[in-house]
Amino acid sequence: MPTMKMGDETNSVSIDAGQTSSLIWTFSRPGTLYYACHVPGHYAAGMQGQLDVHG
């Protein structure tokens, strides 16, 4: 399976299949946000979601 590695940034984490990691983010205001995987084909396969931030 082809893989794409991205360096860890302050707003992302890249891990290999089967690994677990975490990313802590503090939201500055309430709202609805959308997130998705940037690996080609993953968005279409469903690697995306929605966050509802309540104040």
User: Applying CB under 5 A, which residues contact Cu ion?
Assistant: 37, 39, 42, 47
Cβ atoms of residues 36 and 47 within 8 Å: yes
CB of 31 to Cu ion, least distance (A): 24
d(CA 32, CA 50): 7
C-beta of 14 vs 37, nearer to Cu ion: 37
C-beta of 11 vs 26, nearer to Cu ion: 11
- Count CA within 13 A, CB hemisphere, residue 40: 4
C-beta of 13 vs 31, nearer to Cu ion: 13
